[in-house]
Amino acid sequence: MVCGALLQLGADRAIVSRAMSSVVAEPGIEEVERAGIRAVRVDTRAPVVHRSLHEVLSRVNAADAPTDAIAMACRVFERIARGEAAIHGKSPHFHEVGADDAIADVIGACTALQTLSVEAVAAGILSLGGGTVNTSHGTYPVPAPATLAILEEAGLRVRFGTVDDGELCTPTGAALLSEFVTLPAGASPGGRVVATGYGAGTRDTPGIPNVLRASLLETGDMPAEEDVVDVLETNVDDVTGEVLAACMERLMASGARDVCIIPCTMKKGRPGFLVRVVSFPDDSARLSRELAIETGTLGVRCLPSVHRLVAKREILTVTVHLCGRTWDIPVKCGILDGKIFSIKSESARVREVAEACCITAREVARVAEEEAWKTIERKTT
């Protein structure tokens, strides 16, 4: 569905088809209708073959696809591997998501995104569905445990459904979106809609368009750096540090853009804390209730429609050599007035490399960020 939506959006069909053909077989690409909406369905025409992570990555690396698409596809499967390991422990096979059709799906979707040459990707709230799904391990609740583990790592916003919905987000889909998205969860980019694409799977639900929609926006000279948020505040003097730490973690997981806790002096000279939460306006009421429940405070102040400057972000993947191995590390670049002014390596990947190499995360981040600055300098000279 991801690949189909991107193809209808304008991705290069020939390049995508060639990439998918090189790992499995020539895909079937057709236009279908779902509840009155024309959508593109991609059939990988792949046999059911379960493979290990090493086998999957070998096939992906041998694909006839752009280098960036191959690197992105490898990271998608590494996300899936981490999600499955979090639930099942280490397993020699990927089961459903290690099959050849998943390999073709992922390399096709990553190639499609690369051919569109977009500057940033945002995602709305993901509908996960409900009910149960049959897996190699048995009948599992929806969303599948691996799907939730992948989304938990990525921090994407989700919505749970009902038993009637069925599975609306698979581990593969969750990993693709987690890898594609570069804007903060809940961000609503503005611009002119230049194209819209719909991707369909095999399921055709009567009366409900079971499709994935993707839109291409052109921001032009719009002030993309401007944003509006609400600021929530409360003062507490009877809450322990453990409770405040748990509160901060809960609020961030629930969609807060930022949370800080500031020591302060309250009435009657009591030492206390000011809890400040940055929230998108649509989330303010919900987060205010959570803040009250977590801390026991009897009042939460809301400073509405606070304007903030938000730097544009881009993800640059750099290759570094550590402990005799080659590592790809995503680095987030902050941009103002068309110039990169800050870089920061992706923390989860930095920790992963640091643990594998038995060195500090600070050293890994330093090497990655130095390589990022060198790459930027080469591009601008």
Tell me how far apart the alpha carbons of residues 24 and 46 are, in angstroms, rounded to a whole number.
6
Specify the fold of 226-309: Alpha-Beta Plaits (3.30.70)
**Mean pLDDT taken over the chain:** 89
Under DSSP, the state recorded for 27 is: P
Instruction: Give tens-digit pLDDT for 89-116.
Output: 765 455 555 688 899 999 999 999 999 9
Give the N- to C-terminal CA distance of the chain in Å, as an integer: 40
CA distance readout (Å), 352 to 184, 220, 327, 349: 22, 38, 10, 5
Specify the fold of 312-380: Ubiquitin-like (UB roll) (3.10.20)
Q: Following CA atoms 302, 305, 306, 312 in sequence, which dihedral angle do they give, to the nearest 10 degrees?
A: 130
CA atoms within 13 A on the CB side of 143: 25
Confidence of residue 224 (pLDDT cuts 50, 70, 90): very low
Q: Following CA atoms 209, 173, 287, 303 in sequence, which dihedral angle do they give, to the nearest 10 degrees?
A: -80
Mean pLDDT over 218-245 rounds to: 80
Under DSSP, the state recorded for 282 is: G
pLDDT of residue 222: 45
- Per-residue pLDDT for 343 more than 50? yes
Tell me how far apart the alpha carbons of residues 148 and 166 are, in angstroms, rounded to a whole number.
15
* Extents of the domains making up the chain: 2-218, 226-309, 312-380
Instruction: Give tens-digit pLDDT for 131-182.
Output: 998 877 789 999 999 999 999 998 888 999 999 899 999 999 999 999 999 8
- Per-residue pLDDT for 209 more than 70? yes
- The pTM assigned to this predicted structure is 0.61
Encoding tokens for residue 194?
Answer: 């230049």
Three-state DSSP class for residue 91: coil
pLDDT of residue 98: 63
Asked whether the beta carbons of 66 and 116 are under 8 A apart, the reply is no
- Per-residue pLDDT for 221 more than 70? no
- Per-residue pLDDT for 316 more than 50? yes
Instruction: Give tens-digit pLDDT for 16-65.
Output: 999 999 999 999 999 999 999 999 999 999 987 878 888 899 999 999 99
Run of H or E residues at 352: helix 347-357
Could you give the angle at which helices 171-180 and 67-88 cross, rounded to 10 degrees? 130
Instruction: Give tens-digit pLDDT for 15-28.
Output: 999 999 999 999 99
Match 């919505």 to its residue by tokens.
159
Instruction: Give tens-digit pLDDT for 242-300.
Output: 999 999 999 998 889 999 999 999 988 999 999 999 998 888 999 999 999 999 999 99
- Per-residue pLDDT for 335 more than 60? yes
Tell me how far apart the alpha carbons of residues 314 and 334 are, in angstroms, rounded to a whole number.
7
Under DSSP, the state recorded for 307 is: E
